[in-house]
């Protein structure tokens, strides 16, 4: 893999997931969503069965580089979540890689077993490229945050502050904490970047329509 996956450990609730995408038009069609979710499942099952799958994107759109986070749930509980912040590979390949990493490389959980695999629910967060944005322009529920300072980096997805009822200041402070920085680092020169995320999956209504 071109970079080590970053772990995100704040599982989004259904309402938060919907709120995070309600203001933006859907970029990915229902067919593309179904294809990516099926790919995520196949990436996990193929690893358990020791078989290869193709990671060649089937369309030009799915070949575009994107950051992706894949969250796994089992019986409504988080079972793994790993992602790429930066668009280092095609969205198709990134979904396959992060699904497999969430299943087997999230050190907060034991590896997914072959018995668990058929029962997993998957949620994907496909990120826009992070762009510098002034703190006062951050919109809770629309933007995710990436804060970097002194070699440390913290990321929170757009649905997290919605789920937890945070305002903009708290969101900035908690992203600093995620990076292992003082909560006011965003006022002391830390680099603030924002991104949006299209969130869909088997825990959200969009995947079942």
Q: Could you read off the pLDDT of 69-91 as tens digits, one per residue?
A: 999 999 989 999 999 888 889 99
204 vs 209: CA distance, rounded Å: 10
Residue 27 in tokens: 């970029």
CATH 2.120.10.60 fits 6-129+198-207, yes or no: no
Q: Are 44 and 99 in contact (CB under 8 A)?
A: yes
194 vs 155: CA distance, rounded Å: 10
Q: What's the distance, Cα to Cα, between the start and end of the chain in Å?
A: 33
Q: Which residue has the higher pLDDT, 21 or 60?
A: 60
pLDDT band at 110 (very low <50, low <70, confident <90, very high): very high
In the β-sheet with 77-84, what is the strand arrangement from edge to edge? 6-7, 77-84, 67-74, 121-127, 197-201
Residue 15 in tokens: 């309402």
DSSP state of 187: G
Could you check whether 6-129+198-207 and 131-195 share the same CATH topology?
no
Would you state the pLDDT for residue 117?
Answer: 96
Please choose, from the candidates 191, 202, 155, 158, the residue with its C-alpha nearest in 3D space to the C-alpha of residue 174: 155
Per DSSP, the three-state class of 17 is helix
Per-domain boundaries in the chain: 6-129+198-207, 131-195
Please choose, from the candidates 30, 42, 87, 35, the residue with its C-alpha nearest in 3D space to the C-alpha of residue 57: 35
Q: Report, at the CATH architecture level, how domain 131-195 is classified.
A: 2-Layer Sandwich (3.30)
pLDDT band at 13 (very low <50, low <70, confident <90, very high): very low
Whole-model pTM: value is 0.76
């Amino acid at each position: 893999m071109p970079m080590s996956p970053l772990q995100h450990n704040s599982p989004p609730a259904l309402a938060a997931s919907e709120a995070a995408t309600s203001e933006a038009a859907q970029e990915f069609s229902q067919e593309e969503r179904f294809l990516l979710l099926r790919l995520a499942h196949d990436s996990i099952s193929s690893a358990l069965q020791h078989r290869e799958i193709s990671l060649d994107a089937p369309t030009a759109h799915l070949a575009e580089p994107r950051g992706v986070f894949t969250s796994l749930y089992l019986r409504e509980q988080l079972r793994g979540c790993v992602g790429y912040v930066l668009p280092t590979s095609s969205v198709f390949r990134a979904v396959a890689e992060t699904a497999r990493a969430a299943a087997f490389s999230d050190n907060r959980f034991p590896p997914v077993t072959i018995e668990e695999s058929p029962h997993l629910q998957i949620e994907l967060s496909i990120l826009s490229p992070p762009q510098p944005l002034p703190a006062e322009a951050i919109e809770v529920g629309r933007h995710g945050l990436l804060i970097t300072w002194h070699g440390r980096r913290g990321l929170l997805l757009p649905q997290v502050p919605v789920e937890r009822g945070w305002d903009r200041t708290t969101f900035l402070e908690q992203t600093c904490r995620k990076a292992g920085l003082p909560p006011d680092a965003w006022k002391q020169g830390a680099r603030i970047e924002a991104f949006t995320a299209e969130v869909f999956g088997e825990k959200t209504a969009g995947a079942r329509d």
